[in-house]
Amino acid sequence: MINKTVKNVAEACAGVKSGMTLMLGGFGLCGIPECAISELQRLGVDQLTCISNNAGVDDFGLGLLLQTRQIKTMIASYVGENAEFERQMLSGELEVQLIPQGTLAQRCQAAQSGIPAFYTPAGYGTEVGEGKESREFNGKMHLLEHAFVADFSFVKAWKGDSAGNLIFKGTARNFNPNMCGAAKITVAEVEELVPVGTLDPNQIHIPGIFVQRIFQGTDYQKRIEQRTVRSKQHGA
């Protein structure tokens, strides 16, 4: 029986080196690979190119790697409320590539599927399209976008088994599935690691063939980026 389980996050991140390109799942602070990010900070690898929907907040998520200047280039669709991200971008300390969110997702999925490039109408006629090949389809102009090329992909799932099969929970099923198998090595951290045969095959979102390493994470904070509450009304 195939067993892709590694003992801990340190073993899961073995082989990550400075200058590599990394994919990191999540949206805002939802479904981010918290344990892997903390380990990358501990390792001190730098000059990283990070592909993620956003860069977390100042003191959590990828914001931790920005604090320690470990990220050289950030490829994202949203900068969020991260003041340090903004400061480094405006000062020229950080290279930033902002990409339409759908294009970002599709460039991950193209890499996952082994498709080198695709055409999309998103961004045509804007700064996003400068220097890119364009072509008309059905009377509408499209840009040629290339699949990402990454060394490691770090994703977070709710449950997984030792063969690498994954189940995501709720909105944590965001960029995580698209990033599985989209890099040379996919590392999955899960809240609950179970033996093969435990998961209902009909509930599995990502089959183990897309995952090379899996481990059970610990001490998840699951923070909320922007907490919104309804004010109490009279008579309620």
Domain count along the chain: 1
**Non-local CB neighbours of 134 within 8 Å, separated by 6+ positions:** 124, 141, 142, 143, 144
* Residue 13 domain flag: yes
This prediction has a pTM of 0.91
* Residue 78 domain flag: yes
Tokens of 9: 């996050």
Residue 91 has pLDDT above 60, yes or no: yes
Q: For a pLDDT cut of 70, what percent of the chain falls above it?
A: 97
What pLDDT, on the 0 to 100 scale, is given for residue 230? 82
Higher pLDDT, 224 or 199: 199
Residue 74 has pLDDT above 80, yes or no: yes
- What one-character DSSP code corresponds to residue 138? T
Query: In this structure, what CATH number is given to the domain that contains residue 167?
Result: 3.40.1080.10
* Residue 227 domain flag: no
Structural domain containing residue 75: 9-117+149-216
* Residue 225 domain flag: no
* Residue 231 domain flag: no
Average pLDDT for residues 228-233, to the nearest whole number? 76
* Residue 139 domain flag: no
* Residue 230 domain flag: no
* DSSP codes of every residue in 3-66: --B-SSHHHHTTT--TT-EEEE--BTTBT--HHHHHHHHHHT--SEEEE-S---BTTBTTHHHH
Specify the residue for token string 């040629």: 144
Determine the 3-state secondary structure of 187 from DSSP. Answer: strand
* Residue 197 domain flag: yes
